[in-house]
Chains A and B, each alone.
Chain A
Amino acid sequence: MINLKKYIAALSITAVIFGTAIYVSNLFGQKKLEDVHAIENRVALDILSSETQFMLLEETSCKDIGPGFLSKELGSIGERLTYAENQTELNTNDLEYLKRSYFLLEIKDYLLMKRLTEKCGIKPTFILYFYSTKDVCEDCERMGYVLTALRNKYPDLRVYSFDYNFDVGAIDTLVSIYKVRPELPALIINGLSYYGFHSVEELESTVPALKELARRARVAERATTSVKTLD
């Protein structure tokens, strides 16, 4: 004799466990998106602050620019969005919106950086990196590792990454300004284009801006070693 009540009870409890798992997961997913959104708001505010400072520069000198002039949190958003993209439970529309905001913030930060370098004579240390998520791009994954390694090695280096096929007008404008061909991955460093995969060593030896960064790093390292020896 089959006790159907037991099956119904087990089914109900299992359904409750399932429902709770879905609810809690959605809750966390929502919190994660809010987290990214909050950082984006902070970055937007940072950029607004920097722009205001920059406008004030017209009346003052470059010396007044402090170390916190540019937002440090752009990288953090990038890492979070990359992770979130692999989480299937997150709302795709929300994620698309956050990505769009992120790319626009990157462009604004880049423009500000460019104006700053022109005005104050700072040597540019930024890279525009175009990748693709639409098609299979093994070199893009490999290039990502190289750029992360470079950013870890040179904290002053600012890498702006853009999804080549993402539907944002500003990215299309960047692509047309720098005439970026759809041969990804592509790097724009000081107006020069580099296509395909390049290792850390290749970039350090061929790209003038990175050569300079590497030289400065060596000088700083030597200085630290001499101080230690004197001690």
Chain B
Amino acid sequence: MAEIQTLILYCLLFITLFFEVFLLITYFEVREELDFESKHVGKHIKWFPTVTIIVPCFNEERTVEKTIRSLLDLDYPKEKLSIIIVDDGSTDETLSRFVQFAKHPQIAVLSKENGGKHTALNFALERIESDLVGCLDADSFVNADALRKMVPFFNDVGIMAVTPSIKVHSPKSILQHIQKIEYSWGIFLRRMLSSLGALYVTPGPFSIFRTRVFRELGGYRHAHHTEDLEMALRLQKHHYKIVNSHGAHVYTVTPLRFSALFKQRVRWTYGFLNNVIDYRELFFNRKYGHIGLFILPIATSSIFSTLYIAGRTVWNNFFSISSMLTKLQIVGWNWNPPSLDWFFINTSVVSFLALSAIILTLVILSLAIRLTEGKFTITRGIFYYLAIYIFIVPLWLIRAVFSTVFRRQISWK
């Protein structure tokens, strides 16, 4: 039994290390491309396609005004940019926030009964005639140059969607600082996946599509509360190219408290698992390139490997604590300082492999922060992330896997 467990651990560590090495190789391949994008993309634009941004709202009275203002402040020709706000049957003061924008030439306000985010998006999509269309969640704000940095990618006729880099808006709590680091990691990962043609999510905050995508593939679906993930998988299934613009920054309000974060992450993980089940034909299929052959299988397996390692750690610690308690009960408090003799340092193969994986993780994390912030600085968020994040992730993974296995519905908010 112990041998089987060790073998499983070796396999998981091998996959983890392989993925990290693969990411680093990709990074070194595209390093010059990243520099070029940072310096030149968004400048000297000759073609400004018409763009419509849809803002679906459901009870977003606190943030929606700021969201709309950030869109109006976009550095983009006014006559080429229009905004459609869709109130999805809000029950708070969201609708009253739109009064001041009612006569704005760039803005159209629509209202409908509550039916979920995908219905609000589809309601607006029916009325769109622009070249490009995007969505911006009503709790997110765009940088003024975001659209200018994304539009040039559409000069390539093969590109059907461009995703931005999402950052955390004004982090205050420890959890938000943790999410800031996590989002930096996400920015790095998405940029690498973009180079591999393997993006599997077109995030709600400010992903831009060619309008014909929706005419050809249909509108948004409920998709287990993760319509942005399903849309990306649908694009990938039809070999529609998605790329990421790491220089286009969008800021989003992230959960302040654990309960809200837990719900959000359960929804994301549940949505991922159920959508990959729906799109299982992509798995290990060379026809779909890196996403089918490698990225989707490893992203799925990472959920289970995290749970296995977390379970094993809890089990081992349970025995250590149980032994300590037995000792305490028998001979009382008799603390001896840990031995400094090198003999008692754990020199097992697993320890060295885990150390290698940790070192590679730290290297990738530093590159991710450099890519996101322009330079690497040590912040308290990094310490929170390293000390707390690994302990909370298994909680929502367990819940999401449980809900998937036992077909339990999850809530949106």
Q: Are B323's CB and A141's CB within 8 A?
A: yes
Instruction: Determine if B258 is an interface residue (Cβ-Cβ < 8 Å).
Output: no
Q: Which of A21, A22, A35, A141 has the most CB of B within 10 A?
A: A21
Asked if A48 CB lies within 8 Å of chain B CBs, one says no
Q: Is the CB of A9 within 8 A of B17?
A: no
Chain A residues near B334 (CB-CB < 8 A):
149, 152
C-alpha gap A25/B345 in the complex (Å): 11
Any chain A CB within 8 A of the CB of B302?
Answer: no
Is there a chain B Cβ closer than 8 Å to A91's Cβ? no
Residue of B nearest to A199 (CB): B330
Which range holds the interface residue count of chain A? 20 to 34
Is the CB–CB distance between A141 and B356 below 8 Å? no
On whether the beta carbons of B293 and A21 are closer than 8 Å, the reply is: no
What's the Cα separation between A2 and B6 when bound, in Å? 32
Is A80 in contact with B17, judged by CB distance below 8 angstroms?
A: no
CA separation between A28 and B348, bound complex, in Å?
9
Q: Quick check: is A56 within 8 A (CB to CB) of the other chain? A: no
CA distance A149 to B21 in the complex (A): 48
Contacts of B14 in A (CB 8 A): 14, 18
Chain B residues with CB under 8 Å of A172's CB are none
Cα–Cα distance between A148 and B347 once the two chains are bound (Å)? 25
The distance in angstroms between the C-alpha atoms of A21 and B10, with both chains bound, is 11
Asked whether A10 lies within 8 Å of B18 as measured between CB atoms, the reply is yes
Interface residue B315 (Cβ < 8 Å from any Cβ of A): no
Residues of B within 8 A of A21 (CB): 349, 352-353, 356
Q: Which of A28, A141, A148, A199 has the most CB of B within 10 A?
A: A28
Assess whether B349 is in contact with A89, with CB atoms less than 8 Å apart.
yes
Contact indicator A88/B348 (Cβ below 8 Å): yes
Q: Is B344 an interface residue (CB 8 A)?
A: yes
Would you call A17 an interface residue if the criterion is a C-beta within 8 Å of the partner chain's C-beta atoms? Answer: yes
Q: Does B312 contact A (CB under 8 A)?
A: no
Q: Enumerate A23-41 residues with CB–CB distance to B below 8 Å.
A: 24-25, 28-29, 32, 35
Chain A, residue nearest B347 (CB): A28
Chain A residues near B289: list those with CB within 8 A.
1-2
Q: Which of A10, A32, A35 contacts B25 (CB 8 A)?
A: A10
Distance in angstroms between the alpha carbons of A10 and B290 in the assembled complex: 14
Instruction: Tell me which residues across on chain A come within 8 A of B6, comparing CB atoms.
Output: 88
Interface size class of B (residues with CB under 8 A): 20 to 34
| Contacting residues, chain B, for A28 (C-beta < 8 A) | 347
Minimum CB distance partner of A24 in chain B: B352
Contacts of B351 in A (CB 8 A): 25
Closest to A200 in B: B331
Bound: A88/B1 CA distance, A: 13
Give A60 Cβ to nearest chain B Cβ, in Å. Answer: 38
Q: Which residues of B contact A148 (CB under 8 A)?
A: 331
Scoring B26, B29, B349 by chain A CB atoms within 10 A of each residue's CB, the highest score goes to B349
Complex contact A145–B327 (CB within 8 A): yes
Are A10 and B21 in contact, with the CB atoms below 8 A?
A: yes
Binary interface profile of B, 334-356, with partner A (CB < 8 Å = 1, else 0)? 10000000011011110111001
Q: Tell me whether A11 is interfacial, beta carbon within 8 Å.
A: yes
Least CB distance, B349 to chain A, in whole angstroms: 4
What are the residues of chain A within 8 A of B22 when measuring CB–CB? Answer: 6-7, 10
| In the assembled complex, A53 has its CB within 8 A of some CB on chain B | no
Chain A residues with Cβ below 8 Å from B17 are 14, 17-18
Check if A83 is an interface residue, CB within 8 A of chain B. yes
CB–CB A9/B347 < 8 A: no
* B212 CB–A CB distance under 8 Å: no
Q: CA of A80 to CA of B341 in the docked complex: distance in angstroms?
A: 10
Let me know if A89 and B344 touch, CB within 8 A: no
Q: How far is the CB of A96 from chain B (nearest CB, A)?
A: 18
Contact A14 B326 (CB under 8 A): no
Is B2 in the interface zone, CB < 8 Å from A? Answer: yes
A residues 101-156 touching B (CB-CB < 8 Å)? 141-142, 145-146, 148-149, 152
> Distance (Å) between the CB of A169 and the closest chain B CB?
29
A199 — which chain B residues lie within 8 A by C-beta? 330
Q: A141 CA to B294 CA in the complex, in Å? A: 47
**Nearest A-chain residue to B344, judged by Cβ:** A83
B286 within 8 A of A: yes
Question: Closest residue of chain A to B15, judged by CB?
Answer: A14
Contact of B326 with A145 in the complex, beta carbons under 8 Å: yes
Contact B2 A83 (CB under 8 A): no
What CA separation (Å) do A24 and B356 show in the bound complex?
12
Q: What A residues does B25 contact at CB under 8 A?
A: 6, 9-10, 13
CA distance A44 to B150 in the complex (A): 77
Most buried by A among B6, B294, B347: B347
Residues of A near B331 (CB, < 8 A) are 145-146, 148-149, 200
Inter-chain contact A142/B286, CB cutoff 8 Å:
no
Known: A24-B352, A89-B349. A11 touches B286 (CB 8 A): no
What is the distance, in angstroms, from A94's C-beta to the closest C-beta of chain B?
A: 15
- Residues of chain A at the chain B interface (Cβ within 8 Å): 1-2, 6-7, 9-11, 13-14, 17-18, 20-22, 24-25, 28-29, 32, 35, 80, 83, 87-89, 141-142, 145-146, 148-149, 152, 199-200
A–B Cβ pairs within 8 angstroms, 21 of them: A2-B289, A6-B29, A10-B21, A11-B18, A14-B14, A14-B17, A18-B14, A25-B347, A80-B343, A83-B344, A89-B347, A89-B348, A89-B349, A141-B323, A142-B326, A142-B330, A145-B326, A145-B327, A149-B334, A152-B334, A200-B330
Given contact pairs A25-B348, A32-B347, A89-B349, enumerate 7 new A-B contacts (beta carbons under 8 Å): A14-B21, A17-B353, A142-B326, A148-B331, A149-B330, A149-B334, A199-B330
Could you list which residues of chain B lie within 8 angstroms of chain A, going by C-beta atoms? 2, 6, 14, 17-18, 21-22, 25-26, 29, 286, 289-290, 293-294, 323, 326-327, 330-331, 334, 343-344, 346-349, 351-353, 356
Can you list the 10 inter-chain pairs with the closest CB atoms, starting with the nearest? A28-B347, A21-B352, A149-B331, A10-B22, A25-B349, A14-B18, A10-B21, A13-B21, A14-B17, A145-B327
